[in-house]
Structure 1
Amino acid sequence: MKIKVLDTTLRDGEQTPGVSLTTKEKFRIATQLDEIGIDFIEAGSAITSEGERKSIKEITKQGFNAEILSFSRPLKGDIDYCLECDVDAVNLVVPTSELHIHDKLNKTPDELIDLSNNAIDYCKDHGLTIELSAEDASRSDVDFLKSVYVEAIDHGADRLCVCDTVGILTPDSSYDLFTKLSDLKAPISCHCHNDFGLAVANTLSAIKGGAVEIHTTINGIGERAGNTSFEESVVSIDRLLPDFSTDIKINQIYNVSKLVARLTGVYIQPNKAIVGENAFSHESGIHSDGIIKNSATYEPMTPELVGRTRKFIIGKHMGTHGLNSRLEELGLQVNEIQLQQICDDVKELADKGKTVTDVDLEIIADNVLAIDHEDRIRLDEVTIVSGNKVMPTASVKITIDDEQILNAGVGLGPVDASINAIKSIDIFRDVDLIEYHVDSITGGTDAFIDVIIKLQKGEKVVSARGTEPDIINASVKAYIAGVNRLLRE
């Protein structure tokens, strides 16, 4: 059975605290949602503001394949704003729990049904498709909920939605509720919140109970603990529910996830399923070995399925198989003895609490491989003049191919001046410094300084390191070491 997807990232997702999207940002997200195969896009809530209506209009005029909706209360004013935005449909939200009807609206159940029916009639008179969403349906009396839905169908509602507004369903109660509503003569959808971390599980149970449409947000963003995660739901349907499917282009999921994270500024936790940075990362030696032999040993799906790539993490838990795979990716070939020594050195460094980067790995490998080379460039001397009223100036003496060269430079600080003094020499001029990082290895004012840099020449990028008590010497040595490596390669 085909399951339809309504994405409410641009409405419910934007209600995430601290998130406010511009018209251009909403348009970019809507375009990606349409391209990935979303069936229904809730573009916003037209009643909210003039800026919101501008954003919705920008989306509706594009002629997307997806049906474009606006959120609306069962009020004529809300519906008129939806019509002004030229949406295809409205997500007409009607509270159905006693708590909401009495305490929030101060109405009787009969008055609520009349309000709902009148709003549906007004929408139908103006040619709108209607999805009637029962707010707080999971805490509503089921018989009353059914009566609201039956009346809505009689007045022309096209689809029905059960909203678990405060996320109190469990997979069992979700299945039971949707089973009880499955005899209604209209398609029924599921809108879950994640207050207890069960939104995706409840959504999957709703599908088994008879839901044919799900409401989601990208990365599960939304108010409080968020909404049903789009990527987790869609991939779970594809992988875990063999009798159901969607029209979503699953291999584009990661791209849209990163876009929404970037535009909303909402951080994706590293261990988040499907799209978290650790979702397809492996450090354990046992896991890495199994993955290399057959990825199914420790992955329920291939990373390529969702537009990802696999990563082997360098650390003390890494085994030789995963380490060798990473070395090969870095272009380093080693024998078994060298591989074991590199592995031992990596673990020794990790045991000291240091994160082992690719730069560390390359340096460790270079030391183990004992590469026999003679550097063309050698640092002989660095002299610095700096003070409160003096432009930092550096003079460097280096030897290039047995020719000694003395050069000077100025900069914003002594390190900058030293690097500038080197860069103005011919052999350095087509080398770009693209990354510079400093760590203090030990404590105190006499600490050893670890300078790590990345240099680029043409399409070739190399990393290099300099470790000295003096940050200037460490920086210059790292720079020269990097250029020597570029020249060798």
Structure 2
Amino acid sequence: MPSLTATPASALEIYDTTLRDGAQAEDVSFSVEDKLRVAQQLDALGVHFIEGGWPGANPKDIEFFRKIKTVPLRNATVVAFGSTRKASNSVRKDKNLQALVDSGTPTITLFGKSWSFQVTDALGIALAKNLELIEDSIHYLRSKNRRVFYDAEHFFDGYKANPDYALQTIRRAIAGGAERVILCDTNGGTMPWEIREICRVVKQECPVPLGIHAHNDSEMAVANSLVAVESGIVQVQGTINGIGERCGNANLCSIIPNLQLKMQRPALGDKLTHLKDVSGFVTEIANLMPNKRQPYVGDAAFAHKGGVHIHAVLKNAATYEHIDPAVVGNRRRILVSDYAGRSGLLEKVEAYGISLTKNHVKLQELVETLKERESQGYQFEGAEGSFELLMRKAMGSHRPSFQLLGFRVIVEKKQEHGLLLSEATVMVQVGNVVEHTAAVGAGPVNALDHALRKALEKFYPQLREVKLLDYKVRVLSAEKGTESKVRVLIESGDHKDKWGTVGVSENIMEASWQALADSIEYKLLLTDR
């Protein structure tokens, strides 16, 4: 088997389908403005083709193609996507084909059936008729001066079931004028060794460049895409973060750095440093939770927790990092935990501008305090705001911004089907001033949050910028039932920063208070910097 570096050095094309295939993912819904913003980010990343949508399928995509014409793009070509004509229509009377022409894109990707089973059972037409649909649909679009890529849908399943017919569909697409033939693993069930063998056979049969479009139903989409490139395929299709229907599409955030850094196949050049930012942008626009364990671009991709790991990586990053995280726009993170030891904590302490030696008594005290807190159930890996406050308190450099004098939370339900009412009362002291406020909320924690802010905002107006972004509760000792200790993790943010804080108690309101109070204290600490 040839090595990955032995692949012929033909130019690769990165084809992004986040705005079409990615938009079909569960829980994802892009507005037209969302799609325009994502397209600009993809263009800045340097992808070669952006599949904008299916103009024959919905009005939103028609509007996108109208508006994208006014957006200057430097690197990418916008592509419209659609299907071959219906068997009952001529090409000139097929609404889907007319919508593709009306989209105005210079390049169109057309998909057709390559699996005989799909032709007879899904379309309900004869195999010969399907070949006719493929060829004359592409020929018609070529007559309108459009460049056409042909997506051979279900190709690998089709080839395994009936290789002669699957190859016939490709030949007819090329006869119609297709400039690229994209081999699609639409059901996502093909294995890499099958991809390799089939791609090599098709490459010998096919006079035009080939592409790969893989789905991730068997967790093989990235591997299948890379094996296809190794086998001579030049266009790689996928989505940012791998979002897509069912289990998703091939993840370009893994494919692109693997191509460039592992296979020495230039894909984006020096724009690879923007990869993490684009990944995060799409996650935010899609309103999804970020996958922190995603390779290359996840927050945990270069995070180190074990003391042995930390000690080694601080000496030489190559001991536990397969690439320099900065190459993909990421960064190294030293996690705070009772596994970290003095080396890890020293690195964290110095990152906050505090100079200590490895044998300093304060550092050892901090190690012991951290271990004691984590034995109680505190977790500082996702709560670095609380950790910095803990560290500064241990160093004697933190002065609290307020003092709690007391709080009370009332939850009332008057009827079986009536609404719950949550009300919180907070008494705090700022300097010599005592403030006593009350507030209602959607739940007891929300009410407590509102009451605390209400009490403090007159002293610290910058707290109006803070939003609670995420709230998680974990039961730490379930065997005690409702008496179990819980850990509350809160993520807060403003227009510039995000930070996590933590609280632990047998009482969920006490744990929530600890995390909320730390969140406020940390915001004020950021303001003072």
Give TM class, smaller chain: 0.7 to 0.9
Q: Which moved more, 1:406-415 or 1:172-181?
A: 406-415
Structure 1, unmatched stretches of 5+, are none
Indicate the residue corresponding to 2:443 in structure 1.
Answer: none
Indicate the residue corresponding to 1:9 in structure 2.
Answer: 18
- Structure 2 residue aligned with 1:176, among 197, 200, 203? 197
Structure 2, unmatched stretches of 5+, are 1-8, 86-90, 413-422, 441-446
Indicate the residue corresponding to 2:88 in structure 1.
Answer: none
Q: How does 1:276-295 map to 2 (within 5 A)?
A: 276-295=298-317
Is contact 1:394–1:409 with CA below 8 Å preserved after alignment?
yes
The one-letter code sitting in structure 1 at the alignment partner of 2:154 is D
SS at structure 2 position matched to 1:182: helix
Is contact 1:253–1:306 with CA below 8 Å preserved after alignment?
yes
Q: Does residue 157 in structure 1 map to residue 184 in structure 2?
A: no
> 2: distance between equivalents of 1:222 and 1:15?
6
- Structure 1 residue aligned with 2:148, among 130, 150, 168? 130
Is contact 1:220–1:227 with CA below 8 Å preserved after alignment?
yes
Residues 448 and 87 from structure 1, CA distance in 2 versus in 1: closer, same or farther, beyond 3 angstroms?
A: closer
> 2: distance between equivalents of 1:266 and 1:379?
37
Q: CA deviation at 1:454?
A: 10
Indicate the residue corresponding to 1:101 in structure 2.
Answer: 119
- Structure 2 residue aligned with 1:340, among 322, 342, 364? 364
Indicate the residue corresponding to 1:166 in structure 2.
Answer: 187
- Structure 1 residue aligned with 2:35, among 4, 9, 26? 26
Residues 330 and 105 from structure 1, CA distance in 2 versus in 1: closer, same or farther, beyond 3 angstroms?
A: same
Is contact 1:281–1:310 with CA below 8 Å preserved after alignment?
yes
Residues 145 and 72 from structure 1, CA distance in 2 versus in 1: closer, same or farther, beyond 3 angstroms?
A: same
The one-letter code sitting in structure 2 at the alignment partner of 1:72 is G
| TM-score with structure 2 setting the length | 0.76
Is contact 1:90–1:128 with CA below 8 Å preserved after alignment?
yes
> 2: distance between equivalents of 1:37 and 1:55?
20
- Structure 1 residue aligned with 2:55, among 46, 54, 60? 46
Q: CA deviation at 1:478?
A: 8.2
Is contact 1:382–1:418 with CA below 8 Å preserved after alignment?
no
> 2: distance between equivalents of 1:257 and 1:127?
35
Residues 112 and 286 from structure 1, CA distance in 2 versus in 1: closer, same or farther, beyond 3 angstroms?
A: same
Indicate the residue corresponding to 1:68 in structure 2.
Answer: 78
Q: CA deviation at 1:235?
A: 0.6
SS at structure 1 position matched to 2:67: helix
Provide the aligned C-alpha RMSD in A: 4.4
Residues 30 and 320 from structure 1, CA distance in 2 versus in 1: closer, same or farther, beyond 3 angstroms?
A: same
Q: CA deviation at 1:379?
A: 7.0
| TM-score with structure 1 setting the length | 0.81
Indicate the residue corresponding to 1:358 in structure 2.
Answer: 384
Q: Larger Rg: 1 or 2?
A: 1
Q: CA deviation at 1:269?
A: 2.4
Indicate the residue corresponding to 2:345 in structure 1.
Answer: 323
Indicate the residue corresponding to 2:283 in structure 1.
Answer: 261
Is contact 2:427–2:435 with CA below 8 Å preserved after alignment?
yes
The one-letter code sitting in structure 2 at the alignment partner of 1:53 is I
Q: How does 1:207-222 map to 2 (within 5 A)?
A: 207-222=229-244
Q: CA deviation at 1:311?
A: 1.2
Q: How does 1:325-474 map to 2 (within 5 A)?
A: 325-335=347-357, 336=359, 337-356=361-380, 357-366=383-392, 368-369=394-395, 371=396, 405=432, 412=439, 428=459, 432=463, 434=466
The one-letter code sitting in structure 2 at the alignment partner of 1:296 is A
Q: CA deviation at 1:214?
A: 0.6
> 2: distance between equivalents of 1:175 and 1:482?
53
> 1: distance between equivalents of 2:527 and 2:253?
46
Is contact 1:232–1:274 with CA below 8 Å preserved after alignment?
yes
SS at structure 2 position matched to 1:246: coil
The one-letter code sitting in structure 2 at the alignment partner of 1:203 is S
Is contact 2:213–2:250 with CA below 8 Å preserved after alignment?
yes
Deviations along 1:359-386, one digit per CA (max 9) or x if unpaired, are 54345445644x399x7999798899x9
> 1: distance between equivalents of 2:136 and 2:216?
32
Is contact 2:184–2:214 with CA below 8 Å preserved after alignment?
yes
> 2: distance between equivalents of 1:142 and 1:278?
43
Indicate the residue corresponding to 1:114 in structure 2.
Answer: 132
Residues 114 and 352 from structure 1, CA distance in 2 versus in 1: closer, same or farther, beyond 3 angstroms?
A: same
Q: CA deviation at 1:233?
A: 0.4
- Structure 2 residue aligned with 1:229, among 239, 245, 251? 251
Deviations along 1:401-443, one digit per CA (max 9) or x if unpaired, are xxxx56666553898788877776xxx5677575899999999
Q: What is the percentage of aligned positions where both structures have the same residue?
A: 23
> 1: distance between equivalents of 2:322 and 2:350?
25
Q: CA deviation at 1:306?
A: 1.2
The one-letter code sitting in structure 2 at the alignment partner of 1:142 is P
Is contact 1:407–1:421 with CA below 8 Å preserved after alignment?
no
Residues 180 and 327 from structure 1, CA distance in 2 versus in 1: closer, same or farther, beyond 3 angstroms?
A: same
Q: CA deviation at 1:151?
A: 2.8
Is contact 2:407–2:424 with CA below 8 Å preserved after alignment?
no
Is contact 1:135–1:164 with CA below 8 Å preserved after alignment?
yes
Is contact 2:225–2:250 with CA below 8 Å preserved after alignment?
yes
The one-letter code sitting in structure 2 at the alignment partner of 1:412 is A
Residues 332 and 452 from structure 1, CA distance in 2 versus in 1: closer, same or farther, beyond 3 angstroms?
A: farther
The one-letter code sitting in structure 2 at the alignment partner of 1:312 is I
Q: Does residue 37 in structure 1 map to residue 46 in structure 2?
A: yes
The one-letter code sitting in structure 2 at the alignment partner of 1:95 is K
Q: CA deviation at 1:246?
A: 0.9
Q: CA deviation at 1:241?
A: 0.7
> 2: distance between equivalents of 1:453 and 1:224?
29
Q: CA deviation at 1:271?
A: 1.3
